[in-house]
Amino acid sequence: MGIFEIGAAAKAASIQLAALSSEAKNSALAAIAQALKTNAAAIFAANKQDLEEATGLPAPVVKRLTFDEKKLADVLAGIKSLISLPEPVGVVQKATLLDDGLELRRISCPIGVIGMVFEARPDALVQIATLCLKSGNAVILKGGKEARRTNAALAAALVQAVPEPAGWLNNLETREEVKEMLALSQFIDLIIPRGSNAFVQYIMANTSIPVMGHADGICHVYVDAKADVDMAVKIIVDSKTQYVSVCNAAETLLVHKDIAAAFLPKAAAALKAKKVRLLGCQVARQYAEMEEATEQDWSTEYLDYILSIKVVDSLDEAIAHINKYGSGHTDCIVTNDATAAQHFTSLIKSADAFWNCSTRFSDGFRYGLGAEVGISTGKLHARGPVGLEGLCTYKWLLTGHGDIVADYASGAKTFKHTPISE
C-alpha cells in the first residue's frame, strides 16, 4: 500500500473512531494489553536483533532502544492507567443559553489523523498508538530506524488485537515515506515530531500540516538562597541521574551565590558518586573540583552523565539564564521562600515549572495522563506532556427551534448569554 492509500485509509478510520463508545475503546485497549503479553517472545526476539545491529551507538540511545520485560511492564501499566481515565471525547466544556430554546455547547472531539515521527524508543509506539485510540484518532507512525524490527512486531500485535477499523494504525519504515507523509495535508491533521532540534525544524519547514512538539530538553534546577541543602542535593541527583537519556533530565544546575559554599561541595560529591562529569563556571569551581564550562555548555542537551553548573548572583539572573538558554521544557526552583517560588514559576517561559521537586516528574504517566505522545514546548493548543486532552480539539454545537438571526438584527429578540449548568 502506497503512502497516499495509507493516508486515505487513516482518514476513513478516524471518522469511525470518532464515533466509538468509551466501552468499545477500553475493550480495544484491554485486547492490546493481552496481545502484547501473548506476543512478548516475538517482540523481545525482534528487539534482540535490533540491539545486535545497534553497534557504535551511545549507551543512552541503546537504553532507549531496549524493549524488555521491564519496558513491557511499563507499557502495560500505562494501558491500565489509560483504561481507567475518563472518556475524553464528547465532554461538554462550556454551555451557554443564547436565548430561550437556543443553546450553545462546546464539546471535545478528536483531532482526526495524527502523523507521529519519533526516536528509536519502541515503548513510545505503544504509548502513542493507545493514546490515539482512546482519544478517537487514527495514527501514522514512523519510529527510529534502529528499532525497525521491534516497531514492526509491536505494530503487528496492536493491529492483531484491534483489526477494525482498518487503517487506524499505520507503521512506516523508511525515511522516504516520512517525506511523502509530510505532503498529505488532505488526510493528516497534525504532525508530532520527537527528535533533535534540527529534525523538528526540518519537519516544520517541509510541511503545510500543523506541527506540535519539542526539540531539545535543556532542563534546569535552580537552588535558591533559601533552599534546604539536603533537599536540593536529593532533587538535583534525581533530576540528573534517575534516567539520564530522556528530555526531562536536568542538564544545568544554577546555584545562588549565598548558598554555594554550603551546597556545592555536597552536591558535587553526591553527583560524582553517580559518575556524573561536572562542568562549572569559574565561581562554581571554587567550591568543588570540576572541569571548566564553556558558553556552549549552557545550551547543550547532554542526555548523558554530564552536568553544567553556574553560580548566579540573584533569582532574576537565574530566570534570565533559563529563558535565554533553556528549551521551554521543564525547570525547577528549590527554595523555602514561597515568594521566590511564585516569582520563578511566573516568569520562566517553560511549559513545566516546578517547585521543590525533580524535573523527572515531567511525564504524562506521572501526571496521570495515561502516558504521553510527547512534550510540547510551544504555546498554542497543548503544553507540557501531551496526553488525551492534547489529542482532542472541540466543536461548537448549537441547538435551536427555528431561530433566525434576522430577529436579533431587527431588535425583536435579544441575546441572554447566560451560562447553563449541565
Cα(65)–Cα(56) distance, integer angstroms: 13
The hierarchical CATH code for the domain 219-361 is 3.40.309.10
Q: What is the pLDDT of residue 64?
A: 86
Q: What is the pLDDT of residue 189?
A: 96
Q: Which residues pair with 384 in a beta bridge?
A: 376
Q: Are 170 and 10 in contact (CB under 8 A)?
A: yes
Q: Which residues pair with 92 in a beta bridge?
A: 107
Cα(278)–Cα(405) distance, integer angstroms: 68
Tell me the residue type at 390: G
249: left (phi over 0), alpha (psi -120 to 50) or beta: beta
Mean pLDDT (the chain) is 93
CA dihedral 344, 345, 350, 355 (to 10 degrees): 100
Tens digit of each residue's pLDDT (9 = 90 or more) over 36-66: 999 999 999 999 999 999 888 888 788 889 9
Q: Are 209 and 179 in contact (CB under 8 A)?
A: no
Q: Look at strands 92-99 and 102-110 and give their pairing.
A: antiparallel
Tens digit of each residue's pLDDT (9 = 90 or more) over 218-239: 999 999 999 999 999 999 999 9
- 110-130: b (≥16 Cβ within 10 Å) or e: bbbbbbbbbbbbbbbbbbbbb
Closest Cα to residue 130, out of 234, 228, 29? Answer: 29
Radius of gyration of the chain (CA): 24
**122 prior amide bond cis, ω within 30:** no
3-93+109-211+388-395, CATH topology level: Aldehyde Dehydrogenase; Chain A, domain 1 (3.40.605)
Q: What is the pLDDT of residue 217?
A: 85
Please state the length of the chain. 422
Q: Where are the domains of the chain?
A: 3-93+109-211+388-395, 219-361
Q: At 246, give phi and psi (nearest 5°).
A: -120, 160
Q: What is the pLDDT of residue 225?
A: 98
Domain 3-93+109-211+388-395 matches domain 219-361 at the CATH topology level: no
Burial class (CB in 10 A: 0-12, 13-18, 19+), 231: middle
User: Taking CA 377 as the corner, what is the angle to CA 66 and CA 26, rounded to the nearest 5 degrees?
Assistant: 60
Tens digit of each residue's pLDDT (9 = 90 or more) over 62-99: 888 999 999 999 999 989 999 999 999 999 999 999 99
Q: What is the pLDDT of residue 155?
A: 97
Q: Look at strands 352-355 and 291-292 and give their pairing.
A: unpaired
CA dihedral 97, 103, 108, 112 (to 10 degrees): -140
Q: What is the pLDDT of residue 214?
A: 67
Query: What is the band of 370 on the pLDDT scale with cuts at 50, 70, 90?
Result: low
Cα(17)–Cα(241) distance, integer angstroms: 40
The answer for residues whose C-beta is within 8 angstroms of residue 167's C-beta and 6 or more apart is 6, 9, 10, 12, 13, 138
Tens digit of each residue's pLDDT (9 = 90 or more) over 295-311: 999 999 998 999 999 99
Cα(388)–Cα(373) distance, integer angstroms: 9
Assess whether pLDDT exceeds 90 at residue 382.
no
The answer for residues whose C-beta is within 8 angstroms of residue 123's C-beta and 6 or more apart is 67, 71, 74, 75
- Establish how many alpha carbons lie within 13 A of residue 12's alpha carbon, considering only the half-sphere containing its beta carbon: 10
Assess whether pLDDT exceeds 80 at residue 375.
no
Percent of the chain with pLDDT over 70: 98
Tens digit of each residue's pLDDT (9 = 90 or more) over 266-291: 999 999 999 999 999 999 999 999 99
